[in-house]
Chain A
Amino acid sequence: MKSDSIFKAMLYTGGVIVALLVVFSFISLFRASWLSIRQFGLKFILSPVWNPVSEKFGALPFITGTLATSILALFISLPFSISIALLVGVYLPDGFLKNSLSYATDLLAGIPSIIYGFWGLFSLVPLMRKMEIKIGILPYGVGILTASIVLAIMIIPYTSSISREVISMVPEDIKEAGFALGATTREVIFKIILPYARSGIFAGILLAFGRAFGETMAVTMVIGNSNFMPKNIFSPANTMASVIANEFTEATKDIHLSSLIQIGLWLFIFTFLINLLGNIVVNKFRVESRK
């Protein structure tokens, strides 16, 4: 039918345009970073020195900052997001409390990141400062740990809503089989529900990781914007995203601009790899659907 083929063509156009966008983004990032790629080569991601004045550009401090904040944020958020998922998915009966808890966590995802940034700056940073004075280190307040805590709160809804969905999708009869063998709720959770839901939970963790990886605004506000290699988790630092946000407007030299864009390119590549790895693991651990 004619109208059918027109509709099909429309779908194809939409799909192909989106796919092309990804390819072209990569190409234009690559072209704009070419100057700095040619000059620094692989040393760009291995060198710990980033000095716009002497025109030496190495992204290692930012790669470190990004990895440290995202991984730390993941570990901080995980106990909370899994607890919420289990509470809502297993323990709470349908009703007001269950719904409001789900909505509340999902709403966390809707808060603009600038608001998290302000909260971090005005509430968390002074608190961290007090703590740092107590344990006797330089009281910056801002730094990797502060950024990780803000990030952790921002990514809770991603892990918890996906985990909640997969946990509530665990078939009732399998849980019943566990109870019928004399298992307690806790034993059913750890030995039946979590193993069954693991690939979905992993997907949620990964989505959260990807989100933490690229988060810019909130992190830029509380990480301290230091271009040196961070010494510990209290050090002010910069992430790949935050250094781009910070220096893009001040980058007057071509090589500086090109180096910032190359950081963007690597951010692109890393995010792509995380997703790829995620897909592989999710497929490997997927529970075979039953007959």
Chain B
Amino acid sequence: MENKILKIEKFSAGYGNNYVLKGINLEIPEKKVTAIMGPSGCGKSTLIRCINRIHELNPDAIYKGHIYLNGEDIYRMNPTIVRRKIGMVFQRPNPFPTMSIYDNVIAGYTLNGIKLKRNEKDRIVEEALKKAFLWDEVKDVLHRKGTFLSGGQQQRLCIARALAMKPEILLLDEPTSALDPKATSRIEELIVELKETVTIVLVTHNISQAARVSDYTAFLYLGELMEFGPTERIFVAPKHKKTEEYLTGKFG
């Protein structure tokens, strides 16, 4: 059995006095791609926003339960440390519009006030952009604004920005929902490549995407975890009736 890097225990979260997520128990294996699937409003985005403690930035946010990263309760850690260890890429590409491509990649360090030597920065930027399959396309325009890139390139820039911090886990919140099919397939290739070095949690409402790139799949329905297991098993022989209905397109 592979190592479980992240353990979610009886975790509930929501807004105001309404819990969107209800008592989730989930163990995420290290250096695998875990897809979180489910219809809109099932709480999948809320779940991954709790994993890097972005959820609590909303003043109405509520949560209870535990999430352990390598055995340490992240809700007892400093949130900024949690977020450096657990990177995130959002639905809509969101490079910092005031910064160049180079500055975007290194932004995690500058934002945290970490001073680096010029050559260290160069190395981190090059490494991160190479990992994100973007280096060849942008190596000559590193000092142009990131917003000049295409949507798919912008999203890979955001992935590079997250990877530059050398996170242990990378959260992807429907990273291709705003992209065209070609850009989507490049990102999917990238995801498969990246699991060599980093654990990936991918939220998607695209069933075939989950089938293509993930090793494990969790199915959420109305805030509850219906089913979790190896992707192949979930798709071939779903145990839960709701999972089967979702996968066959009866709702979603």
Interface residue ranges, B against A (CB under 8 Å): 52, 54, 57, 59, 80-84, 87-88, 90, 92, 94-99, 107-108, 110-113, 145, 147-148, 151, 154, 158, 161-162, 165
Among residues of B, the one whose C-beta sits closest to the C-beta of A178 is B111
The smallest C-beta distance from A96 to any residue of chain B, in angstroms, reads 14
Q: Is the CB of A191 within 8 A of B145?
A: no
Chain A 215-242, CB within 8 Å of chain B: the 1/0 string? 0000000000000000000000000000
Interface residues of A in 100-139 (CB under 8 A from B): none
Q: Tell me the dominant secondary structure on chain A's binding face.
A: helix
Q: Which A residues are CB-close (under 8 A) to B110?
A: 191
Pick the contact of A174: B80, B96, B151 (CB < 8 A): B96
Pick the contact of A180: B81, B87, B151 (CB < 8 A): B87
Interface residue ranges, A against B (CB under 8 Å): 93, 171, 173-174, 176-184, 187-188, 191-192, 195-196, 287-288, 290-291
* A246-B94 Cα distance, complex, nearest whole Å: 56
Q: Which A residues are CB-close (under 8 A) to B147?
A: 288, 290-291
Q: Is the CB of B83 within 8 A of A196?
A: no
Q: Which B residues are CB-close (under 8 A) to A178?
A: 96, 107, 111
Q: Is the CB of B98 within 8 A of A181?
A: no
Q: Is the CB of B97 within 8 A of A174?
A: yes
Q: Is the CB of B98 within 8 A of A195?
A: yes
* A173-B90 Cα distance, complex, nearest whole Å: 8
Q: Which B residues are CB-close (under 8 A) to A174?
A: 94, 96-97
Q: Which A residues are CB-close (under 8 A) to B59?
A: 93
Q: Which B residues are CB-close (under 8 A) to A171?
A: 94
Q: Which A residues are CB-close (under 8 A) to B90?
A: 173, 176-177, 180
Closest 4 CB pairs of A and B: A182-B84, A183-B111, A195-B98, A181-B108
Jot down 17 A-B pairs with beta carbons below 8 A, ordered by A: A173-B90, A176-B90, A177-B90, A177-B94, A178-B111, A179-B83, A180-B87, A181-B107, A182-B80, A182-B83, A182-B108, A187-B111, A191-B111, A287-B97, A288-B97, A290-B97, A291-B147
Q: Which B residues are CB-close (under 8 A) to A192?
A: 96, 98, 111
Q: Is the CB of A187 within 8 A of B97?
A: no
* A192-B98 Cα distance, complex, nearest whole Å: 8
Pick the contact of A181: B92, B95, B99, B165 (CB < 8 A): B165
Pick the contact of B80: A173, A184, A191 (CB < 8 A): A184
Pick the contact of A196: B97, B111, B145 (CB < 8 A): B97
